[in-house]
Amino acid sequence: MTKTYQTKEQVLEKAETILSKSLRGVASSEVVGVIESQIGVYGMKRKGFLGDIVEKYFFEINPFVGLPKKKKTVSPVDAVAIMEKHFASLGFTIVPPRNIANSDGRTDLVIAGVQMFDDIIHQNKEAREEKMFVAQPSVRMQFQSQVQSQEGTSTSFVNVCTEKMGSGFDAHLEAVDHWCGVLSKLGLHMNDLVIVMRTSEKDWGTGPFVALELFFIYGGLELGDAAYLLIPQASRGPLPVSDIGFGLERIVWAMNKTKSYFDVITPWTFNGAKEMFDSCRTLALLAISGVKASNKGPGLQFRRFAKTLSEKYYGEDIFQIVLHYFDYWGRFTKPSVSKVEALYAVRLEVERFVNL
């Protein structure tokens, strides 16, 4: 069933139902109170402010490619520069990203910027309370099977995010407004955004908790989400965290409105399958981060991408494409090894499968 909510009254009615039936059972009274008091302010500026705590809703909206676009093509590097300037002017600290090999975390690879807090959450380190912006290269292996068939999907991307530990909910909503401001600067205006509210149950290894999330959808394309978290701790009270993250490459795709997401992340001088470019791209990130092939951990993922390139695309210009992506990732993270070392590691593993 497809249903749209066009008027303020319809949206408020739906939000009230969700708050009364679902949110009160899982969120603190402070969170509920602020949401109820701010729903008109934060919701009605947009086309809709809906919840899908109980069921999933679909939206009848125009594809984002038909919306107004920038006259000049914008690169991911350009977009990050605008974001950094915006958030620095608001008092955010611009912090360097973590190495993609998540040696002291609970995942093999970094999957989101919020993992800058891993040592605090899992090792009881002292909380950091400054508000921060980071452009964090990330890998999510669950998307590997979808890359070729599902537009807007890649296994590696830059998670641009603001993080604030010890944040009250008012401060979290203020950060949401900061993101609305920078998206407008980038040409993604609020009149074209739908913001979906829901709660989800999570457990990051310290106990179950409920996250309150706002999903930003631009012309049918999900750009990112703003999550307010109360993360349980064994020896102290829950850690409140404002975690707001977007996919940089999706934002740039939405800005440029090209036919394919891969127009943003593929070198123009090469042709080939999306899977090939995605494998080269993620393998390049792993290689310049110092990851080497092995049978477990980050090295296992390195091996899987090398195997895909060897079995399906050996004979294409894969090593030149990998070199292109060394340069791309070098704009966002400090390489742990030289290009020569990284390319040697990639070639050695790819050709190992050829020779088997």
Q: Where are the domains of the chain?
A: 8-51, 64-256, 266-354
Residues 97, 156: contact at Cβ < 8 Å? no
Instruction: Assign domain 64-256 to a CATH class.
Output: alpha beta
pLDDT for residue 245 is more than 50? yes
Q: Measured in whole angstroms, how far is the alpha carbon of residue 315 from the centre of its chain?
A: 33
pLDDT for residue 13 is more than 70? no
pLDDT tens-digit map of 251-283: 999 999 988 899 999 988 888 999 999 999 999
Q: Give the residue-averaged pLDDT of 17-38.
A: 45
pLDDT tens-digit map of 108-143: 787 888 889 888 988 889 888 899 999 999 999 888
- Cα–Cα distance for residue pair 197/194, rounded to 1 Å: 10
pLDDT for residue 23 is more than 60? no
Classify burial at 301, counting beta carbons within 10 Å of its beta carbon; exposed 0-12, middle 13-18, buried 19 or more. Answer: buried
Residues 326, 280: contact at Cβ < 8 Å? no
For the entire predicted model, the pTM comes to 0.82
User: What pLDDT, on a 0 to 100 scale, did the predictor assign at position 353?
Assistant: 81
User: What pLDDT, on a 0 to 100 scale, did the predictor assign at position 106?
Assistant: 65
User: What pLDDT, on a 0 to 100 scale, did the predictor assign at position 104?
Assistant: 63
